Amino acid sequence: MARIVRTDRELELPGVDAALRAAGHELVLLPDGVSEDGLVRELRGADLLLMCYTPVTARAIESAPKLKGIVKYGVGIDAINLEAAQRRGIPVVNVPEYAEGTVAEGAFALLMALAKKFRPIQHAMDSKGWIWPSSEWLASDLGGKTLGLVGVGRIGSNMARMAQGFRMRVFGFDPYSAFPTGVEKRNHLKDMLAECDFVSIHCVLNPQTRQLIGEAELRSMKPSAFLINVSRGAIVDEAALLRALQERRIAGAALDVYAQEPLRRSGHPLSALYAMDNVILSPHFTFYTREAMARLEADTLERCLEVLEGRPVLVKSRDPRLRAQTRGVRFQD
């Protein structure tokens, strides 16, 4: 019997939990926001750690002498101290493929909602019962508009395909990915931003992309342009974004991710966004569909079984930080 710790229990994985318990393993579920001390305490004697959002620090990893693997049930690995795991020879794996199309669909839905002014129109309908066509409700077509992708990996490529179906022109900034057909490569981020009607962020968070979209980049955008972020909040300088929105230097934004989660109506650096009709706020939900969660559970359980049975863990991600591992892993071609 193995001891398995799963953090972020609010994100339900009933199939994974049931399968691990049915196999006779001890499963400890920890809440979102568990302290480092709490995680350290529960990892003593643990064989496997499942995590989604909870930071996994070097201290937490070093406090777990029996730990055989860390499985991120999701994509982003920025919350895991990979150097500490590699020093211990503990394989780290994520689940990168379960929601590629799903998140792109969510991002495109947010783009459409911004273009069509769904939020302010709904607010007006809720308060007035009916409104008539006037200039304040005038929306935008997507056909003929330009979408700029910051990151053209799996999700960005899906987003490009959807945009092309609406006859949008698609630009991409990504020094590392191959570009799909129809996406025009741009080598300079600020130059691309200046051309775009919509900008959608799809790169991973790492030291090179942290606050990649800062004050200068936001000033490069058209006053009529919209920003969509479904990747990681810290890729954007959120204080600079808030100023740009308050000063009407960009037309609006749709956000599914935030550097500090959860977002709150008060006491949060971005609380002022709740009052803005040109901003759509989503609670990190673009991945959350029945189909994507079924794929996530199946892939997560497969990775867990590899760790528990002592087999090399399959790394499907192309992230070089995961591809740098040399012990206890195998790589998908």
Q: Is 25 a catalytic residue?
A: no
Using the predicted structure, report yes or no on whether residue 7 has a pLDDT greater than 90: yes
pLDDT of residue 136: 95
pLDDT of residue 217: 98
Please state, rounded to an integer, the average pLDDT across all residues of the chain: 97
Are 53 and 73 in contact by the 8 Å Cβ rule? The answer is no
DSSP type of residue 148: E
More confident site: 178 or 199:
199
Domain boundaries, the chain: 3-98+290-331, 100-281
Question: pLDDT tens digit string along 222-266?
Answer: 999 999 999 999 999 999 999 999 999 999 999 999 999 999 999
Sequence length of the chain is: 333
pLDDT of residue 229: 98
Nearest CA among 171, 193, 184 for reference residue 250: 193
Using the predicted structure, report yes or no on whether residue 333 has a pLDDT greater than 90: no
Residues with Cβ within 8 Å of 296's Cβ and at least 6 positions away in sequence, in order, are 13, 73, 74, 95, 98, 99, 287
- Cα–Cα distance list, 209 to 18, 22, 93, 174, 190 (Å): 38, 41, 21, 11, 14
Question: pLDDT tens digit string along 110-140?
Answer: 999 999 999 999 999 999 999 999 999 999 9
SS3 for 45-90, per residue?
Answer: CCCEEEECCCCECHHHHHCCCCCCEEEECCCCCCCECHHHHHHHCC
Among the four given CATH numbers 3.40.50.300, 3.40.50.720, 3.10.310.30, 1.20.950.20, the one describing domain 3-98+290-331: 3.40.50.720
Q: Is 297 a catalytic residue?
A: no
Q: Which ranges in 92-214 belong to alpha helices (H)?
A: 100-115, 118-128, 154-165, 189-195
C-alpha span between 85 and 51 (Å, rounded):
14
Are 90 and 69 in contact by the 8 Å Cβ rule? The answer is yes
Average pLDDT over residues 266-270: 98
Catalytic residue among 195, 261, 295, 318: 261
Quickly count: other Cβ atoms within 10 Å of residue 72's Cβ. Answer: 25
C-alpha span between 160 and 180 (Å, rounded):
8
Catalytic residue among 3, 232, 297, 303: 232
Domain 100-281 sits in CATH at 3.40.50.720
Question: pLDDT tens digit string along 62-81?
Answer: 999 999 999 999 999 999 99
Domains 3-98+290-331 and 100-281 belong to one CATH topology: yes
- 65 dihedral zone (left: phi>0; alpha: psi -120 to 50; beta): alpha
Catalytic residue among 284, 297, 303, 306: 284
pLDDT of residue 242: 98
Average pLDDT over residues 13-17: 98
